[in-house]
Amino acid sequence: EAVGPQDYTGIKMKVLEWSQPAQEALAANAEALKGKNVYLVAATLRPETMYGQTNCFVGPDLQYGIYNINDTDAYLCTERAARNMSQQKIFANGRTTIEKLADIKGAAVVGTKIHAPLSKYPAVYVLPMETVLSTKGTGVVTSVPSDSPDDFATLTDLKKKPEYYHIDPEWVNFVEPIPVITTPNYGNLIAPKLCEIKKINSQKDKNQLAEAKEIAYKEGFYNGVMCVGEYDGVKVQEAKPKVRAALIESGEAFVYNE
């Protein structure tokens, strides 16, 4: 667990098409949402891995809101995150009050089609992850199964048992982890490799996942070299701030602290 302040990158994933349940849940808020681009916002510590996004996760039992940012944009996140944002000059004109346009449960957002910045997939889906914490980040987790053991284990669960998780197999069948970073010890798909080595069978294998996460983080940061995108061949330590800056510059991300 992280202690002290965390410097996250807030990744903006634009809603392309709401799931059927989301459309029904939001029908009553049509007026408030009219003309707004809605973005799911994910807090990440690994902006350099965004080339490998294959989906995004929400907690199916968590409660989310859609918050007014400015004339054109609204963000979907937890209320806790919206309150943090209100103190960080993220809302138009430095507004410090929050303006909620709608309430929506995670389960209803699942199946929504979104655009994930830098991903090779032009559109990806919102999927359920049971271990998303309401007390961390935005409650939205972008999924990079090549480099995050938690993301890979969860995606594998969903592929194995779509009915159990109430998802359409078409939302996951096309998805494969995308090589983003090469490390000398674990190749270019470190998360699947570590899940294999540590015999991780599901998102519930907490202890092995914590170990795998630690190794993946250190290996990627200290020994990793980018194998995709603008910084192909560049060390992760060097590429990370550059990818982050480019995402912020293009308006696809912003600095989010907690």
Binding residues vs ligand A2H (CB under 6 A): 1-2, 6, 43-46, 49, 132-133, 136-137, 139, 141-144, 147-148, 151, 213, 217
Question: Which residue has 């914590």 as its token pair?
Answer: 210
Contact call for residues 171 and 125 (beta carbons, < 8 A): yes
Distances, alpha carbon 244 to alpha carbons 13, 14, 89, in Å: 15, 18, 19
- Which of 25, 67, 182, 51 shows the shortest CA–CA distance to 124? 51
Closest separation between CB of residue 34 and ligand A2H, Å? 30
Closest separation between CB of residue 69 and ligand A2H, Å? 19
Q: What is the separation of C-alpha 218 from the centre of its chain, rounded to a whole number of angstroms? A: 20
> Of all helices (H) and strands (E), which one includes residue 209?
helix 206-218
Nearer to ligand A2H, 111 or 137 (CB): 137
Nearer to ligand A2H, 95 or 198 (CB): 198
Question: Which residue has 């993220």 as its token pair?
Answer: 90
Nearer to ligand A2H, 127 or 141 (CB): 141
Closest separation between CB of residue 27 and ligand A2H, Å? 28
Nearer to ligand A2H, 10 or 111 (CB): 10
Closest separation between CB of residue 142 and ligand A2H, Å? 5
Closest separation between CB of residue 218 and ligand A2H, Å? 11
Give the nearest residue (CB) to ligand A2H.
137
Q: What is the DSSP string of 117-130?
A: TT-SSSSEEEEE-T
Closest separation between CB of residue 122 and ligand A2H, Å? 19
Contact call for residues 40 and 69 (beta carbons, < 8 A): no
Coil, strand, or helix at residue 145? coil
Nearer to ligand A2H, 33 or 107 (CB): 107
Nearer to ligand A2H, 33 or 215 (CB): 215
- Cα torsion 253, 19, 166, 55 to 10°: value is -20
